[in-house]
Amino acid sequence: MKSHTTWLKAISTIGYLGMAGALIALLVIRALFSVSPFVIALQVAALLLLLWARFTFGWRSLHVIANPTEGGLVTSGPYRYIRHPIYTAMCLFGWSGIAAHWSWGAIVWGVVLVANGLLRIWAEETLVTQRYPEYAQYAARTWRMIPYVF
């Protein structure tokens, strides 16, 4: 069990760093920001979702490694609707920029962003389920990232 948990935490770290790295790569290739009002609006919405989620969750867990903490599940705020609003916000932010700077390089980094987000989600959900058995009920009534889709 301990070895399994260690591997899940390592995978979660890879996912987190992969998401951050993809956003940095999009910034470096100038495919993250845009002057388009539509892109700006989407990125502001993503930032607001991220902040709402962070404040709702609280400051009890700011770890690169997925490490379910004491205090119970957070099921209010954006967590009432989606289980991973912070990762959703990161993907929305990145893909909004990609949409404005459509290129193969931007698409590749967008795929890296989402793939690492999904990796992180898988590891994190496995760890949270181990710590909080009630997570299965919560997961059954919420969406991972996009309501009514995924």
- What are 40-58's pLDDT values in tens digits? 999 999 999 999 999 998 7
C-alpha to C-alpha distance for 100 and 114, rounded to whole angstroms:
17
Q: What is the pTM of this model?
A: 0.91
C-alpha to C-alpha distance for 137 and 117, rounded to whole angstroms:
22
Domain ranges of the chain: 2-55+73-141
Sign of CA dihedral 21, 22, 28, 32: negative
In this structure, are residues 19 and 109 in contact, taking their beta carbons and an 8 Å threshold? Answer: no
- The residue behind tokens 């009432």 is 80
Phi, psi of 72 (to 5 degrees): 85, 175
Q: What integer pLDDT is reported at residue 58 of this predicted model?
A: 77
Residues 6+ apart with CB under 8 A from 117: 15, 19, 84, 87, 90, 91, 145
Residues 6+ apart with CB under 8 A from 66: 8, 9, 12, 13, 16, 120, 123, 124, 127, 128
Amino acid at 28: V
Tell me the pLDDT band of 70, cut-offs 50, 70 and 90.
Answer: low
Amino acid at 113: L
Pick 84 or 148 by higher pLDDT.
84
SS3 144: coil
